[in-house]
Chain A
Amino acid sequence: MRPIIKVEKLGKRYYLGPRETVPPTLREAIKNSFGTKVKLISRRNGDRHPSVWALKDVSFEIRPGEVVGIIGSNGAGKSTLLRILARITRPTEGKADLFGHAGSLLGVGTGFHPDLTGRENIYLNGAILGMNRSEITRKFDEIVAFAQVEKFLDTPAKRYSSGMYLRLGFAIAAHLEPDILLLDEVLTIADASFQKKCLERVKIASEGGMTILFVSHNLSSVRQVCCRVFHFDSGGIQGEGKPEAVITNYLKQVSAEPTY
């Protein structure tokens, strides 16, 4: 079967120079650089600024309907990969072809406005995530029921509890119907029962043929929903295969690292 995502030699370099502001993924990278893995590369030919490759020489293919988990320590390049595939940022080198429409959830409640009501925010957020108005109207009741915010629909979002905010944000994203869904570590702050509900949703979507890329530190949820796992380290793919094997390897490697 032809791949739906084809990534070839993808790389992303961030400059550490004074002119560039520091992107969040880089902050992660710097934090980790004390004692570990960030390679600082200073090149002679005109590159006066020290730079760091958040992602280097990454190639892989994903078939339609696969749920692929991406694990690895902070600063390994997981989020950078997702940000590139979601077209938030551009790669420095390489190429990625997507043979389907991609939707991404890199943060919950993106574009929620605190002064707007829950109802208004559903429309705003839905539109920003790529739904059109009639689609949102059609799924509106389902979204509200999934988020369990029926009573607060006409309350401004600034009065929502953080749980309600998160549930509403995820509920909207859960009703997207892209061919490819990119999920970045969004569920870690949800309570157990809502996490379970979301993972079920992910499963249903994948059974329907949606391709899902799933970055997570929650290894048990990776084990539950993924059919393949990539282990990222220092901007490259360190291991790849069945969830059980890759996770075991990853844990082995983590425990082998020196602690300070």
Chain B
Amino acid sequence: MNHPANNVISTIFESSSARSALEFPKHARQLPAEPVTRIQPPRFWERIDFADLWAQREVLYFLMWRDLKVRYKQTILGALWVVLQPVLITAIFTIFLGKLMRVPSDGIPYPVFAYASLLLWTFVSNAILSSSYSLVANAQIITRVYFSRLLIPAATIGVRIVDLVIASFVLIALMLYYHVPLSWSMLMFPVFVVQIAALTFALGVLGASLNVRYRDVGTILPILLQAWMFLSPVVYSSSILPQRSRFLYSLNPLAGIIDGFRASLFDLPFQWLSIIIAAVVTLPLLILSILIFRRMESTFADEV
């Protein structure tokens, strides 16, 4: 081989002292004994490479940053929408359910009762929807560059967590306005936030991987979410249910989480059974969703 590039290479490998003057110094090092990347046909169950995910955390950051930057461009109210969305929904339910139909709210003023749960629900609903569409929306990236695909739905859910944090300031304001007293049970609320994030992540990731192959998912999802909202104690208190249907009702993990969240804020008695059921359902669901995602990941670029 007498191509100039080869001559340069051989000099490089023979005398490493000349290397420092060149522009790409890191290539002088010896090749690793083990391959950095081994490319093989997909296996049935792929393992989850946490080290790889951690190494790519900046991609997660920039995907979230992009979505936050872009989302409210060309809107007049901008980031105010993050707060306005749950506020307006709460206003609607306060008028129709709270005032007109007098739905019981465990003795708590209906607006703050409903805002607390609608805050969580808006997060669940928005996060699952945007996560489910995320892979299809990022098809251009998926077909052209590799990084762990799990970061894409994770980023959309991360964005909704940011929303959740911002919108909770209104909850604090409402609680102050309605003189909700401080209590020890408030220390429990982070538990429910973590739980709802895990549940949402599980369903969002599942929706994302299914929607790549079956676009029906994206179409049916808004309807399913609507039904789920009314099956969960979002705009009413689960205390209106007759005792005999309690157990069946609490099989819905969201019921336990939302009840628990409100119980912690307003110092109501905790429904331990439904809280435990929620945890028992969420964890396997989370693991299963990630495994399904990993299993389908290898074909995303071919199918999206």
Contacts and interface: CB of A to CB of B under 8 A. Distances in A.
Contacts of A227: 1, 3, 5-6
Interface in B133-174: 138, 140-147
Given A99-B36, A104-B145, A177-B24, A65 B41 contact: no
Interface string A13-49: 0100000110110000000000000000000000000
A207 B13 CA distance: 12
A95 B38 CA distance: 7
B303 A127 contact: no
A208 interface: yes
Interface in B1-27: 1, 3-6, 8-9, 12-13, 22-27
Interface stretch (A107-115, A144-152, A245-253): A107-115
Contacts of A97: 35, 37-39
Contact of B31 (A64, A113, A115, A129): A64
Contacts of B74: 115
Nearest to B38: A97
Given A66-B5, A104-B146, A206-B5, A110 B58 contact: no
Contact of B40 (A4, A95, A127): A95
Interface string A190-232: 0000000000000111111110000000000000000100000
B302 A133 contact: no
A153 interface: no
Contacts of A21: 302-304
B36 A128 contact: no
Contacts of A100: 31-32, 36
A179 interface: yes
A123 B62 contact: yes
Contacts of A128: 59, 62, 141, 145, 147
B66 interface: yes
Given A110-B140, A208-B24, A4 B31 contact: yes
A205 B5 CA distance: 10
B23 to A, nearest CB: 5
B62 A64 contact: no
Contacts of A23: 301-303
How extensive is the interface on chain B, given as a class?
35 or more
B27 A64 contact: yes
Given A113-B66, A128-B59, A179-B27, A65 B9 contact: yes
A55 to B, nearest CB: 12
Nearest to A225: B5
B70 interface: yes
B73 interface: yes
A interface: dominant SS: loop
B260 to A, nearest CB: 37
A52 interface: no
A98 B36 contact: yes
A182 to B, nearest CB: 10
A88 B1 contact: no
Given A14-B302, A100-B31, A115 B39 contact: no
A65 B13 CA distance: 10
Nearest to A91: B41
B35 A20 contact: no
A133 B56 CA distance: 12
Interface string B173-202: 000000000000000000000000000000
Of listed A67, A88, A95, A209, residue having the most chain B CB within 10 A: A209
A100 B304 CA distance: 29
Contacts of A129: 145
Interface in B58-76: 58-59, 61-62, 65-66, 69-70, 73-74
A219 B70 CA distance: 41
Nearest to A26: B302
Nearest to B31: A99
B62 A208 contact: no
Nearest to A1: B13
B39 A90 contact: yes
A209 B12 CA distance: 8
Contacts of B58: 127, 132-133
B269 interface: no
Nearest to A110: B144
B271 interface: no
A101 B52 CA distance: 13
B143 A88 contact: yes
B42 interface: yes
Interface stretch (A70-78, A79-87, A159-167): A79-87
Given A67-B5, A115-B74, A124-B65, 17 more contacts: A14-B302, A21-B303, A88-B145, A90-B39, A90-B40, A91-B39, A95-B39, A104-B145, A106-B145, A110-B145, A127-B58, A205-B23, A206-B5, A207-B5, A208-B25, A209-B27, A210-B24
23 contacts: A65-B8, A65-B12, A66-B9, A67-B5, A84-B39, A86-B146, A88-B146, A97-B38, A97-B39, A99-B32, A100-B32, A104-B146, A107-B140, A107-B143, A113-B66, A115-B70, A123-B62, A124-B62, A128-B145, A204-B23, A207-B5, A207-B8, A209-B27
